[in-house]
Structure 1
Amino acid sequence: MPWFTLERFDLSFFDTAPHRHSYTMDLPVSPEAVWEGLAGPAPLSWCRGLSNGRYTSPPPHGVGATREVTAIQLLHLREEFVRWEEGRRHSFLVTEATLPIFRRFGEDYEVVPTPTGARFTWTFAFEPEPLLRRPAALTDAPGVRFMKKLIADTKRHFGAA
């Protein structure tokens, strides 16, 4: 299968991306439990739309670590972490994908303690390929629906209402 290279970006992209979706959820589990689910050996294993999530670099993981995941059984992504604050926050950019959909794509995960567990903020930031810019602006709905399913799976997994 062919791989398409995506453009790199700095952390400011998570605030300035043409398409940015951020979801915050309060989870009734410890921040450590959330972090383990996000950064452990089987990241996001509870998300039905994701599969084969695995690190391709040896532990310990941090900035520069790499990972692969499959979304909706047809889009394979290679990721590289560009921020890693152990137990609290990490961000990655996608370096390669098997479909030429994105010019740039990344995700940011932040976990903070709350009196009743943890607050998890999951941010998706992307810029479509130039040929898809106008359709993406008009039809962002499929991607948003997929993201909302990931959020619902996360809430269900951690026992949030």
Structure 2
Amino acid sequence: MCAPNSLNSARPSFRVIGMTRWFRLQSADAEFFDSAPHVFRYERHFAATPERVWESLQSDQSLSAWGKTVSSLTWTSPRPFGVGTTREVGTGGTRVHERFFRWDEGSGYAFYVYEANVPLFRRFAEDYRIEPDGVGTRFTWLVAIEPVRAMRLPFTVLAPIVKAGFGRAASDGQRYFAAR
């Protein structure tokens, strides 16, 4: 079921599955990390090998195992994962459907959100990179966001709070690997 939604884009739509309304977002690619109105960058040192961090990132729990920031995560594509893989992720009351456009086995991946249960974003993407860093791993995470037109000003004002909120997930990962 599709119907117009004037908040999202020139030809926005939503669909209803069960009781959840899903708002469609525009796709994104690697260029979006250079052009998005809001790009947040996080770098952390994890006390684990890159192989262990990679294993965690593509595990059934992935980021939801790291702490409470990501409340749910379900891979919706079969293994082996790669470009085109999809998953559903929840953070509090917000849920998103993600599609991976880069999958570099053992060193990182990137995805864009193609649907969200809240009409906040026009485009949204994330990029995860892991590389050796001494006896551990350097974890680099980019979050690129373009809010819908109605949220541009509020999002600009709230961007420092949004950045801090996403930063909790990177810090969760740091604590997660330090404890193991």
Query: Normalized against structure 1, the TM-score is what?
Result: 0.94
CA distance in 2, matches of 1:47, 1:109: 17
Residues 46-91 of structure 1, C-alpha deviations (whole Å, 9 max, x = no match) = 231212201101000000000001012x101100000000000100
- Match in the other structure for 1:64: 84
- Match in the other structure for 1:87: 106
Measured after TM superposition, the shift of residue 144 of structure 1 is: 1.5
Contact 2:70 2:90 in 1 (8 A): yes
Measured after TM superposition, the shift of residue 43 of structure 1 is: 1.1
Measured after TM superposition, the shift of residue 155 of structure 1 is: 1.0
Query: Is 2:153 the counterpart of 1:153?
Result: no
Residues 98-153 of structure 1, C-alpha deviations (whole Å, 9 max, x = no match) = 00010000110000012221111011111001000011111213312211211221
Query: Normalized against structure 2, the TM-score is what?
Result: 0.85
CA distance in 2, matches of 1:140, 1:114: 30
* Greater Cα radius of gyration, structure 1 or 2: 2
- Match in the other structure for 1:129: 148
Query: Is 2:66 the counterpart of 1:46?
Result: yes
- Match in the other structure for 1:28: 47
Question: Structure 1 unaligned runs (5+)?
Answer: none
Question: Structure 2 unaligned runs (5+)?
Answer: 1-19
* Greater than 4 Å deviation, 4+ residue runs: none
Query: Is 2:22 the counterpart of 1:3?
Result: yes
How many residue pairs align between the two structures?
159
CA distance in 2, matches of 1:154, 1:124: 16
